[in-house]
């Protein structure tokens, strides 16, 4: 895997030039990058589980789990290890090869008792032979080291949008906090899953700036999730307008060209997309999804619907890899 960038990262102007191409010209280019790096028609299936739900101190304007907003969500304590393992076994039996556990925390530190519990859970999931992803908020050096040691392969930590727009959606932590945690996860040897959300009132420039920042990291993310806003009643973005499918396809295509060897993950919002819309996203270069009937708190397509879609399109689920990719050469070039 070539995730360490040695070629110059693409700049905003170049990303904009790509984004503004006639749609089929853009998709023609992204398709060529995709087939050059991913010869097999495979989609990675990652199942999500919220292991600690709601009651979060942070004020992310889109989130059902923030304690700042009056949403219908019932907060829940950290799950027992056996409950999590049963869910992971079910996800594996359905066809998932990666299991991602989310916790509604500001973050975890090396000395936290909750970190002991999470590490115990991670060890159990790793023993199932699945890729193990966690998303727990900010990490310090020690927490990152311990998670890696317990068997985490990937850390999900989205930058969500541009640095300029970020303070308009979150005030309880900063964009730089997000970048620091990405750095901690990478230093500890975990791969990083980082992307964002579209449809929060940001401009196309914000969306492309998000890709520019991720592309400028010394080690680019192994996975880039593109979420479409799922409006949650009671949050400031509860009335967010739907995103046009072609805007999503354009961003996926630009992400594919920018991150040739990363997974580009078609993420939240798929329940609102048609089969044809999703097929176009895959054609443009998306090669990973969240799989199973629930995201963290919001609905996702049923597993059997997704398996049928993938079969109808001729895709196979991607096999798991449990070794963190060793950055070994030149990465993304535009």
Out of 225, 260, 285, 320, name the contact with ligand DTB by CB under 6 A. 225
Query: Which CB atom, from 21 or from 298, has the smaller least distance to ligand DTB?
Result: 298
Token readout for 59 is 């004020």
Instruction: Judge whether 265 counts as a catalytic residue.
Output: yes
CA dist., res. 160 & res. 157, Å (int) = 9
Out of 47, 61, 71, 135, name the contact with ligand DTB by CB under 6 A. 135
User: DSSP of 189-220, one letter per residue?
Assistant: T-EEE--EEE-SS--HHHHHHHHHHHHTSSB-
Catalytic residue among 46, 56, 119, 281: 56
Q: Reduced to 3 states, what is the DSSP secondary structure of residue 262? A: coil
Q: Are 209 and 239 spatial neighbours (Cβ–Cβ below 8 Å)?
A: no
Sites for ligand DTB among residues 247-306 (CB under 6 A): 267-268, 290, 295-298
Contacts of 255 (CB under 8 A, 6+ apart): 195, 211, 224, 226, 264, 285
66 touches which of ligand SF4, ligand DTB, ligand SAM, none (CB within 5 to 8 A by kind)? ligand SF4
Reported residue count of the chain is 334
The reply on whether position 66 binds ligand SF4 by CB under 6 A is: yes
Contact window for ligand SF4 (CB under 6 A) among 11-19, 57-65, 87-95, 185-193: 57-65
Out of 29, 30, 97, 135, name the contact with ligand SAM by CB under 6 A. 135
CA dist., res. 138 & res. 145, Å (int) = 13
Tell the residue number behind the tokens 């905003």, with chain if given: 12
Instruction: Judge whether 46 counts as a catalytic residue.
Output: no
CA dist., res. 149 & res. 122, Å (int) = 10
Out of 3, 9, 104, 185, name the contact with ligand SF4 by CB under 6 A. 104
Tell the residue number behind the tokens 């398709």, with chain if given: 31
Q: Are 197 and 185 spatial neighbours (Cβ–Cβ below 8 Å)?
A: no
CA dist., res. 157 & res. 152, Å (int) = 14
Q: How far is the CB of 25 from ligand DTB (least distance, A)?
A: 28
Out of 121, 296, 303, 334, name the contact with ligand SAM by CB under 6 A. 296
Helices (H), ranges, 20-112: 23-37, 81-94
Instruction: Judge whether 133 counts as a catalytic residue.
Output: yes
Contacts to ligand SF4 by CB under 6 A: 56, 58, 60, 63, 65-66, 104, 137
> Applying CB under 6 A, which residues contact ligand SAM?
62-63, 102, 104, 135, 137, 157-158, 160, 196-197, 227, 229-230, 232, 268, 296
The residue ranges that bind ligand DTB (CB under 6 A) are 48, 64, 100, 102, 135, 156, 158, 195, 225, 227, 230, 267-268, 290, 295-298
Annotated active-site positions, please?
56, 60, 63, 100, 133, 193, 265
């Amino acid at each position: 895997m070539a995730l360490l960038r040695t070629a110059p990262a693409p700049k905003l102007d170049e990303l904009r030039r790509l984004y503004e191409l006639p749609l089929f010209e853009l998709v023609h280019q992204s398709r060529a990058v995709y087939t050059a790096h991913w010869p097999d028609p495979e989609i990675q299936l990652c199942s999500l589980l919220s292991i600690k739900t709601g009651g979060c101190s942070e004020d992310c304007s889109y989130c059902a789990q923030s304690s700042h907003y009056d949403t219908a969500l019932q907060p829940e304590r950290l799950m027992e290890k056996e409950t999590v393992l049963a869910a992971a076994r079910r996800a594996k039996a359905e066809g998932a090869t990666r299991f991602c556990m989310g916790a509604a925390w500001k973050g975890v530190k090396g000395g936290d008792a909750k970190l002991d519990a999470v590490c115990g859970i991670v060890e159990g999931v790793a023993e199932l032979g699945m890729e193990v992803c966690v998303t727990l908020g900010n990490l310090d050096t020690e927490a990152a080291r311990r998670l890696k040691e317990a068997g985490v392969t990937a850390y999900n930590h989205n930058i969500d949008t541009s640095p300029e727009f970020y303070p308009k959606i979150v005030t309880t932590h900063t964009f730089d906090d997000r970048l620091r945690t990405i750095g901690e996860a990478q230093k500890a040897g975990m791969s990083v899953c980082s992307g964002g959300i579209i449809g929060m009132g940001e401009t196309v420039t914000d969306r492309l700036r998000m890709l520019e920042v991720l592309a400028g990291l010394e080690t680019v993310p192994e996975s880039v999730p593109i979420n479409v806003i799922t409006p949650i009643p009671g949050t400031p973005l509860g009335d967010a307008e739907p995103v046009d499918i072609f805007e999503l396809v354009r961003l996926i295509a630009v992400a594919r060209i920018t991150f040739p060897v990363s997974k580009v993950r078609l993420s939240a919002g798929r329940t609102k997309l048609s089969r044809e819309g999703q097929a176009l996203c895959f054609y443009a270069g998306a090669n990973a999804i969240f799989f199973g009937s629930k995201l963290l708190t919001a609905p996702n397509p049923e597993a059997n619907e997704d398996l049928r879609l993938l079969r109808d399109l001729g895709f196979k689920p991607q096999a798991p890899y449990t070794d963190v990719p060793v950055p070994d050469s030149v990465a993304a070039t535009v």
